[in-house]
Amino acid sequence: MIIQDEMIITSQQEIAHNIFEMKLQGKLVEEITAPGQFVHIRVGDAFDMLLRRPISVAEINPEEKEITIIYRAEGDGTKRLSEKQAGDLVDVLGPLGNGFPVEETNKGETAYLIGGGIGVPPLYELSKQLTAKGVSCVHVLGFQSEDVVFYEEGFNALGDTYIVTVDGTKGTTGFVTSVMEKLNDDFATFYSCGPMPMLKAVQEIYEGKKGFLSFEQRMGCGVGACFACVCETTDQIEASYIKVCSDGPVFPAGVVAL
Amino acid sequence: MNRLSVELPGLQLRNPIMPASGCFGFGKEYGGMYDLSLLGAIMIKATTLETRLGNPTPRVAETPSGMLNAIGLQNPGLKGVMENELPWLEQFDVPIIANVAGSEPADYVEVAKTISTAPNVKALELNISCPNVKEGGIAFGTDPLVAEELTSAVKEVSQVPVYVKLSPNVTDIKEVALAVERGGADGITMINTLLGMRLDEKTGKPIIANVTGGLSGPAVKPVALKMVYEVSQVVDIPIIGMGGIMNAQDVIDFMSAGASAVAVGTANFVDPFICPKIIEELPAKLDELNIEYISELVGRSYK
C-alpha cells in the first residue's frame, strides 16, 4: 500500500562527486515489496519547489525499517535534499511502482544486471535479493568518469562486476555495450536501469532474451493520476501508452517503444 | 445542519472541497489511499468522444511555486468512461462532475448527451479552456459568442446542470462569464491554467514537448482570486473557484472572493491526502473567524 511517511534521516553522505547516499527510517519500509520500487520525496515544506522528487530505492533493511537512496544533486531540488542532515525529517510517499521481478530468475541461473549512472542504485538491492536466492549475478555498470563511480566494492562482493567509464578514467572505456559485446550471452535474464539510449542499446543487443528494463520520465503525481510520465508502447501489448510511475517503472523488454 | 455543506445546481455537497479535473484521474489512484466519500464532489478527467493519447513527453515541468503541464486530454474516450470509470466510482457516495471536451461543437454535444445520463454524474463541466490541445479546448473559451453558443448547445442535450470552465488567458474574463451565463450555464468553474513555458538551462530549448503548458499551483492563486472576485460580482450563477489552493486558508480566501465551493488541483500531486486534510481543518478555521456556516463566507470581500 502507498503511504505518506515522515521518515527520519539516519545518515547522509556524499559518496562520489555530487552523488549522495541517504538512509531513511520509517514504517513505509514495511510496505516495500520488490527491488526497483521508488519513493517520491518532498525536498522541503515550502511550496517554492512544489513537486516531489522520484528516487529509486538502492537498499532495503527490513529489520531496521531503513532504506538507502542514492541520488545526484544536480537540480535545485536534489541540492536542497543534499543539505539535509541525520535527524531531519523528510516527507516521503511510497513505495511506488512495481519493481524488478526477482522470481523471473531461478536458483542456479545467471542474471546480467546492467546499469548506467544514477540508474545503478536499484540494481544493488536487486542483486542482493537475486544472490540471496542462489542466482549468479554479473554486473556491468557505466559511469561518466571515475569521480562519479559508486558502490563498486558492494557490487564486487555480490558477483563479477565490470566498470565502464565514458572518458576511460576507470575500467573499460566507452559505454556498457563495450563490455556486453565481449561477454557471452549464456544467461537466463537481464535487468537494466539507466538512460533511454542505454536501455535501447541493451534491448537491441539482447533481443530475444528475457529481460526487464526500468524507465525514467518526468513525473507529476507519482501514483498514476496525472498522466505526465507516459511511454509509448510497441504492438506487443494492447495499451498504446503506459505510465512509468504506476504501470512501471519496470517493464519487460520489448514493451516500450524505444 | 452540517456547517460545511453547500448547495449548488445539481449538487448537494457535504463540503465545498473537490479535486479538480485532470488532477485526480478517474479517482482510482486516490481511492486506494482514502475513502472518496469524504469529498464534496469529484471532477473527473476530461472525457472526449474518442480515445485520446495526449501529447508527447515531457508533459510536466516544475516552475517557481508551480508547475507547467501539457498532458493533452489523454483519456479512454466516452465509451471507456461510461463502461469502466463511472461505474467504478458508484461504490462511493459522492457526486461526480464530468468534464467534457472535444474538437468541435458536435463532439461536446454528443459526449454531454451520453455522459449526463450516468447515474452518478450530477453536473457537467464544459471544458472550453484546455490550453494544451490544438483543436477545441481553449479555442471555444476565448471568444464570448462561440462560448455562448456552445454552452446553449450543450444545455439543450444535458440531463444535468452545466458548469462552464473558464480560461484566464483572455483580455476580459467577465465578458466570457457573462456570455456563458446568457448561453444558459448553471454555474462557472474557474480558472483553468495560465499559458506558460520553461526553457532548459543548457540547451535553451523548451522543456515541455508541446513547447507551452498550463501553469498551476500557488503561483497562480493571486490571479485566480482576482478573477473570481471580478466575475462573481457580474454574474448571478455560482462559481466553483480554483487556482493554487494548497490549504484551508486558501479555501477561505476563494470563498471570500466570491466562490461558492472550490476545487483542489495541483496540491493533490504534492500531498495525495490534501483534500481530506483540508476538509478536516475547515471547522477550526470557521471557529477562528466566528463563522457558523461556511456559505456565509461567500463574497465577503466585497459585501
Assigned fold of A102-192: Rossmann fold (3.40.50)
Q: Give Cβ neighbours of residue A141 (< 8 Å, ≥ 6 apart).
A: A114, A115, A116, A120, A123, A149, A152, A155, A161, A162, A163, A164, A176
C-alpha grid cell for residue A191?
A: 535487468
B30–A50 C-beta distance less than 8 A = no
Q: Which of helix, strand or coil describes residue A41?
A: strand
A222 touching chain B per CB within 8 A: yes
Which of B169, B176, B281 shows the shortest CA–CA distance to B220? B169
Which residue ranges does chain A devote to CATH 3.40.50.80? 102-192
Contact in structure between A241 and A232 (CB atoms under 8 Å): yes
pLDDT one-digit tens code per residue, A6-57: 999 999 999 999 999 999 999 999 999 999 999 999 999 999 999 999 999 9
Whether the per-residue pLDDT at A205 is higher than 70: the answer is yes
Of A202-211, B130-139, B141-150, B159-168, least confident by mean pLDDT is B130-139
Tell me the shortest Cα–Cα distance from A219 to chain B, in angstroms: 7
Rounded CA separation B62/A50 (Å):
7
C-alpha grid cell for residue B121?
A: 454524474
Predicted confidence at residue B140, as pLDDT, reads: 86
Contact in structure between B295 and B260 (CB atoms under 8 Å): yes
Rounded CA separation B224/B242 (Å):
7
Nearest CA in chain B to A228: B59
Contact in structure between B130 and B195 (CB atoms under 8 Å): no
pLDDT band at A245; cut points 50, 70, 90 = very high
Predicted confidence at residue A40, as pLDDT, reads: 97
Contact in structure between B275 and B38 (CB atoms under 8 Å): yes
Query: Which pTM does this prediction carry?
Result: 0.94
pLDDT one-digit tens code per residue, B236-246: 999 999 999 99
C-alpha grid cell for residue A125?
A: 538491492
pLDDT one-digit tens code per residue, B35-70: 999 999 999 999 999 999 899 999 999 999 999 999
Interface of B with A (CB under 8 A): 22-25, 28-30, 32-33, 45, 53-54, 57-62, 64-67, 69, 71, 74, 207, 217-218, 246, 266, 268-273
Give the ipTM of the model, two decimals please. Answer: 0.92
Nearest CA in chain A to B273: A4
Number of residues that make up chain B:
303
C-alpha grid cell for residue A101?
A: 521481478
Contact in structure between A220 and A226 (CB atoms under 8 Å): yes
The three state secondary structure string of B17-79 is: EEECCCCCCCCHHHHCCCCHHHCCCEEEEEECCCCECCCCCCCEEEECCEEEECCCCCECHHH
B275 is catalytic: no
A183 touching chain B per CB within 8 A: no
C-alpha grid cell for residue A129?
A: 535479493
Domains of chain B and any CATH numbers: 6-54+72-195+217-297 (3.20.20.70)
Contact in structure between A93 and A27 (CB atoms under 8 Å): no
Contact in structure between A39 and A96 (CB atoms under 8 Å): yes
Rounded CA separation B135/B137 (Å):
6
DSSP H or E segment with residue A198: helix A196-205
Which residue ranges does chain A devote to CATH 2.40.30.10? 3-96
Of A47, A93, A226, Cβ closest to residue B246: A47
* Yes or no: domain A3-96 corresponds to CATH 3.40.50.720: no
